[in-house]
Amino acid sequence: MGEILVRKNIITDEQLEKALERQKREKGKFLGEILLDMGVPQDQINKVLFYYNKRTPVGQILVDLGVITPAQLREALDKQKSMMSKLLSYKPLGMMLVDLGFVNYRTYLDVLSRHFNMPIVHLKYFKLRKAFQQEIGEEYALRNKIIVLNDDGRKMEVVLSEPSVLIQEELRKFMPAGKEIVFKLADPHDIVKLLQSNYDPYSVTGYA
């Protein structure tokens, strides 16, 4: 990934060298996390990961970190496939692992954060501003469980309940030229609770 970023003139050889040196010192950190810490725009990192298929699968990250075993990963994948083959509702792999008791939700959220290079935010004391929500469409925000944290005209900060390449691309297309959008993550239950406290509760479906 680092070499691709250099070829695309997103980072310099010197920045890549510094990032790799940090990765050696900071065991367990992914290169994308370090580059994000160094100020490389999230959007540029994630585009490279997406378009060049360089993103490590969530399940593999959990195995690499020793959180779950390869056998547990296979069991979760088999159950996910079984649900899809029976035309039951789709459930993300991470949530399947949580349901099976192989990983707790906090760990799952942490892995998603590292996987998508999205910081985790806590919404306990956050006050939702409907004016910000209206900028992406309140109905769209409710349907996709999105919170707009801030918008200063140059940069919009958005919180997602589940990382979605489709939603990210839709929101990027909506942004005016030159305006940056930064994606973050929060506990889906907290997002639902915040939306339900500010809108008609029945307009926001929850999480079982």
DSSP track, 55-77: PPPHHHHHHHTTSS-HHHHHHHH
CATH class for the region spanning 130-203: alpha beta
Count Cβ atoms within 10 A of the Cβ of residue 129 and give its class: 0-12 exposed, 13-18 middle, 19 or more buried: middle
Q: What integer is the mean pLDDT of 85-90?
A: 69
What pLDDT score was predicted for residue 32? Answer: 82
What percent of the chain clears pLDDT 90, i.e. is strictly above it? 38
Is the confidence at residue 126, as pLDDT, over 90? yes
Check if the beta carbon of residue 19 is closer than 8 Å to that of residue 35.
yes
Structure confidence at residue 206 as a pLDDT band (50, 70, 90): low
**Which residue bears the tokens 């490389």?**
40
With a CB cutoff of 8 Å and minimum separation 6, the contacts of 187 are: 105, 109, 122, 123
Structure confidence at residue 146 as a pLDDT band (50, 70, 90): very high
Structure confidence at residue 89 as a pLDDT band (50, 70, 90): low
Is the confidence at residue 53, as pLDDT, over 70? no
Is the confidence at residue 207, as pLDDT, over 60? no
Boundaries of every domain in the chain: 2-51, 58-116, 130-203
What percent of the chain clears pLDDT 70, i.e. is strictly above it? 93
DSSP annotation of 135? T
Q: Which amino acid is at 25?
A: R
What pLDDT score was predicted for residue 55? Answer: 66
Check if the beta carbon of residue 1 is closer than 8 Å to that of residue 52.
yes
Question: Which of 183, 186, 61, 160 is CA-nearest to residue 114?
Answer: 61
**Which residue bears the tokens 């540029």?**
44
Structure confidence at residue 119 as a pLDDT band (50, 70, 90): confident
Convert the pLDDT of each residue in 12-52 to its tens digit.
999 999 999 999 998 777 788 888 889 888 878 877 776 66
